[in-house]
Structure 1
Amino acid sequence: MKTVLQTNFNGIDGLSIEDTAKPTLTDNGVLVKMAVMPVSPTDWKLESDAHATNEDLATLPRVIGIQGAGTVIAVGKNRDQALLNRRVLVVNPAGVYQEVVLSENPDWLYPLAANVSNADAAALSAGTSWTLKQAIDHSHADNIVITGANSVIGLTLLQMLADEHRPIYPIVTEASKTYFASQMPHLTAYTNADLPTLTGTTIVLDIVGKLDLLTDLAARLNQPEIVSIVLMQAPTLANFKFVHDEFNADHYRYFLQTLADGKLTAIINKIFPIDQTKEAQHFAKETHSRGRVLVGFTA
């Protein structure tokens, strides 16, 4: 079966597509025929730096990817037999960029509703957005500023903030204003240069990780809280905090239900075929964020 492997730290172009053995079904496992997987920054960072994350993902060779969607084609005797032929989202730290994945943890397998497509499930990137929303919910700030608001995380966060009563100021580049308006027509986006003077207190949610941008915002705002998902440290900034999402099975179930209920919309840019995994990663890394980039076995 086709498998995308990282065998070195030479970057994206060091990936290889190899023919590997199909995994063997275990009593506690299910086999998932993969359909589509998201392109993840974690992968392309690890492909050039063994220390890019704190996760145990740097032992080579490794199958890339952590989650994706597909169909259950075999069920072990100790698992729910009703899973057979169900479309599912699977989380598998051992990798998902392969035609068939063995999943042995019931908390890492999520059946999909009929109205949730494989692509929508794979594209959903709500955990980090949820973590940022919790920071907002716990803040008493008068204003909310979001850098990188045109990103998938930013747009998903804004969907989660649909009932927020405080004013929201999305920060995007000039080149991303038109795209942002197409996704969030009820909100006005600002560049850093044209952000109006804000009164009261402000929380800044940082999705882009540009210290100079945050430094400029901190100088113009009234001692803002700054919460970043990118920068782990910023000694020059007061009231700074780094946050990251932690895996939570109940959150995954909730996010998939909100997709099914139409309360969240997956944001997809482009789907590449598996043979173009390198091209997909370059595209996601090197172009403006316009939605999630996916790789599919049937694209």
Structure 2
Amino acid sequence: MLSVLQTNFNGIDGLTYQNGPRPQLTDNGVIIRMSVVPISPTDWKLESDANATNEQLANLPRVIGIQGTGRIIEVGRNRNESLLNQRVLVVNPSGVYSEYVLSENPDWIFPLPDNVTNDAAAALSAGTALTIKHEIDISSSDNLVITGANSVIGLTLLQMIDEQQRKIYPVVTAMSKEYFQEQMPGLTSYTRKEVPQLNGSTLIVDIVGKKDLLNHLATKTNNVQVVSIALMKDDELTQFKFIHDEFSSDNYRRFINQLSSGQLKPIINKTFQVKQTKEAQHFAKETHSRGRVLVNFDAS
């Protein structure tokens, strides 16, 4: 069984590919043959962080990744046999970058409809977007500015919101304007220099975590509030709030239904094979965001 392991804190290039035994089926577990897993910035950050505070993630070696898609090939005696052969999205904090994964938590397995592909489900990045949407919903601001609007989270967020009462200013780099327009033809994007002076109050949603950009955008309005998923604080901004998403089984089921109905569109850039995981992480980290980068086990 091939797995991708973090064995040190030397960054992406410190990852190793190892062969080991398949996990043993337990009475309360299912064995999932993994198919597609996403590249996550969380992984490459943890791969360089010797001071990881989460005890589980600080213990090495560890299999990387938290969620992915696959097919259930074995079912424990205390689990419903109807799960056998079902395609599922699985959330597994102990790692998913293995050909076979043992899952013992029924709340962390989500069967996939026939019209939702493994790639589409693996590319889901809607939890953070929904958390941001909640902040937007409770805000009474006149303007909404979104940094990193061309990112997967940014584009997913824009699919979720239907703003009629305030002006939306998606902020992207000059190199990303054409891509953003292809993805969101009904919206106008702005570079940092193109954002005009704004009247009224403004909510800035920060996805990219660049303080100089935030502080520049704050000068474009007299009444600004910032919510960020990338920065814990910015001492130059008085109304600043760091937010993060929390796992919710109900939300995952909701997102899968929205993929099935077409309400959510998967945003996928490129797929690598599992033995190219290091290359895939470098690609995702070092190139402009053009959708989710995936890793495929099926051809390993």
TM range (shorter): over 0.9
Structure 2: 5+ residue runs without aligned partners? none
**Within the alignment, does 1:229 sit opposite 2:229 as a pair?**
yes
The count of aligned residue pairs is: 299
Greater alpha carbon shift after TM alignment, 37-46 vs 161-170: 161-170
Deviations 1:39-74 (A, max 9, x none): 011111111113356573121000000000000001
Structure 2 match to 1:187 = 187
Q: Which residue number in structure 2 is paired with residue 56 of structure 1?
A: 56
Gaps of 5+ in 1: none
What residue in structure 2 maps to residue 145 of structure 1? Answer: 145
| One-letter identity of the residue aligned with 2:269 | N
Aligned residue in 2 for 1:129: 129
Matches within 5 A, 1:172-183: 172-183=172-183
Question: Structure 1 residues 200, 163: closer, same or farther in 2, change over 3 A?
Answer: closer
Q: Retained in 2: the 8 A contact 1:42–1:53?
A: no
CA positional deviation for 1:114 = 0.5
Cα offset for 1:155?
Answer: 0.2
Residue 298 of structure 1: how far off its partner (Å): 2.1
- Give the 3 Å change call, closer, same or farther, for CA 53–68 of structure 1 in structure 2: farther
Percent sequence identity is 64
2:251 paired residue number: 251
TM-score (norm 2): 0.97
Residues 99, 232 of structure 1: alpha-carbon distance in 2 compared, 3 angstrom cutoff: same
* AA at the equivalent of 1:61: P
Q: Distance in 2 between matches of 1:53 and 1:85?
A: 37
Cα gap change, 1:137 to 1:19, in 2 (>3 Å): same
Partner SS, residue 294 of structure 1: strand
Per the alignment, residue 239 of structure 1 pairs with 239
AA in 2 matched with 1:43: D
What residue number does 1:261 align with? 261
Q: Show the counterpart of 2:171.
A: 171
Structure 2 residue aligned with 1:298: 298
> 1:204/1:55 Cα in 2 relative to 1: closer, same or farther (>3 Å)?
farther
1:211-249 alpha-carbon deviations (Å, 9 max, x no partner): 011111112212211000000011211110000001111
Aligned equivalents of 2:53 and 2:180: distance in 1? 30
Does the CA-based 8 Å contact 2:34-2:96 persist in structure 1?
yes
Over residues 127-171 of structure 1, what are the superposed CA-to-partner deviations in whole Å (9 max), with x where a residue is unaligned? Answer: 000010000001000111100000000000000013554221100
After superposition, what is the alpha-carbon deviation per residue over 1:78-116, rounded to whole angstroms, capped at 9, x for unaligned? 111111000000000000000000000011000001000
The residue that corresponds to 2:156 in the other structure is 156
Task: Find the aligned partners of 2:35 and 2:50 in 1 and give their Cα distance.
Answer: 28
TM, length-normalised to structure 1: 0.98
Query: What letter matches 1:243 in structure 2?
Result: I
Work out the CA distance in 2 between the residues paired with 1:241 and 1:103. 35
- CA distance in structure 2 between the partners assigned to 1:56 and 1:240 by the alignment: 30
For 2:128 and 2:194, how far apart are their aligned partners in 1?
Answer: 27
Q: Is 1:223–1:238's contact at 8 Å kept on the other side of the alignment?
A: no
* Residues in 1 aligned to 2:27 and 2:50: alpha-carbon distance in whole angstroms: 34
